[in-house]
Amino acid sequence: PSWLLLALLGLLSGYAARRFLSQRNSLTAELRRAVDADEFVPFYQPVVLGESGALAGAEVLVRWMHPIEGIIPPNQFIPLAESTGLIVKMTYQLMDRVQEELLGQLPNLPEPFHVGFNISAAHCTSMELLDRCRAFLEPFPPGSVILFLELTEREAIPATPMTDALFKQLDGMGVQVALDDFGTGNSSLEYLQRFTVNALKIDQSFVAKAGTETLSSHILDIIADLASRLELFVVAEGVENAMQREYLQKLGVEYMQGYLFGRPVPFAEFAATHLPPAAGGAGDGAPV
């Protein structure tokens, strides 16, 4: 009978929660160790122009290269990294590594190259974020790289004079702000008023049903309309097939991201797949 199944499920999930809670301390220690051991590695997923499919840049998506467990996806450790504050150091390590990797391929990057980092509430409680962004951009020739900070609503970013000043100064430096998973949170529209937002990233749950389900299609239409009225551009994430792409193209979505264009991969693979061959290599001199 179904009540028995429900009771069993309840017992099991209670068990899983207790097990996780009892592991929380050791998981936190493990996370701390991994930050010091530099086990968090940036993967790059291409972001392309909606119109032409040409490469516009990449979103940096962290992976935990665990010596025993192998590759651990972010959903399994980001929430704990955020609640323990370890996310701050982790992200700044990622930024250093990404800077180094991009500098190594600077002549081959399309200009401007968009690079997006996922930012947590913990980053927004100190002006360090501003210094880190400045240091990130510093070695790149002006205009060659555009830095995007992707904010989600999983955790609320407090509205304080400090955060106001922080985002104002980031804006002044040309750092762009994108609202991630737009449409899934409950304060998206309030964020639009608080920060100088430059882009909306449409959540993949809407993109998945683009053109096939009326409700999702209406939501996409409304987000595109809102963006154009507010003079923001739109990035659609989770584009997996040509039908979704065509629907979004008709809406005039400027940027797209998804398995149709490429999965998140380590930098070497990203460069080999999405960037032109290094200058001076075998492909040198070929017509562009």
> Binding residues for ligand C2E, per CB under 6 A?
45, 61-62, 73-75, 78, 87, 91, 94, 118, 120, 150, 152, 180-181, 204, 237-240, 257-259, 264
Of 39 and 181, CB closest to Mg ion:
181
Return the beta strands (E) in 240-284 as ranges.
255-256
Min CB(158)–ligand C2E separation in Å? 17
Alpha-carbon distance of 157 to 185, in angstroms, equals 12
Helix (H, G, I), strand (E, B) or coil at 149: strand
Task: Choose the one of ligand C2E, Mg ion, none that binds residue 152, judging by a C-beta under 5 to 8 angstroms depending on kind.
Answer: ligand C2E
Task: Choose the one of Mg ion, ligand C2E, none that binds residue 171, judging by a C-beta under 5 to 8 angstroms depending on kind.
Answer: none
Of 153 and 181, CB closest to Mg ion:
181
Task: Choose the one of Mg ion, ligand C2E, none that binds residue 91, judging by a C-beta under 5 to 8 angstroms depending on kind.
Answer: ligand C2E
Task: Choose the one of ligand C2E, Mg ion, none that binds residue 85, judging by a C-beta under 5 to 8 angstroms depending on kind.
Answer: none
Min CB(61)–ligand C2E separation in Å? 4
Residues 6+ apart with CB under 8 A from 202: 182, 183, 220, 223, 234, 235, 236, 237, 253
CB of 179 within 8 A of CB of 200?
Answer: yes
Of 59 and 251, CB closest to ligand C2E:
59
Min CB(288)–Mg ion separation in Å? 31
Alpha-carbon distance of 102 to 94, in angstroms, equals 12
Residue type at position 62: V
Alpha-carbon distance of 157 to 153, in angstroms, equals 8
Q: Which pair of structure tokens corresponds to residue 58? A: 């990449």
Task: Choose the one of ligand C2E, Mg ion, none that binds residue 87, judging by a C-beta under 5 to 8 angstroms depending on kind.
Answer: ligand C2E
Alpha-carbon distance of 201 to 255, in angstroms, equals 9
Of 192 and 278, CB closest to Mg ion:
192
CB of 145 within 8 A of CB of 102?
Answer: yes
Q: Residue 230 gets which letter from DSSP?
A: T
Q: What's the half-sphere exposure (Cβ side, CA atoms, 13 Å) at 3?
A: 0
Min CB(72)–ligand C2E separation in Å? 10
Min CB(129)–ligand C2E separation in Å? 12
Of 122 and 271, CB closest to ligand C2E:
122
Name the residue whose CB lies closest to ligand C2E: 258
Q: Interior CA angle at 98 toward 93 and 102, to 5°?
A: 155
Task: Choose the one of ligand C2E, Mg ion, none that binds residue 98, judging by a C-beta under 5 to 8 angstroms depending on kind.
Answer: none
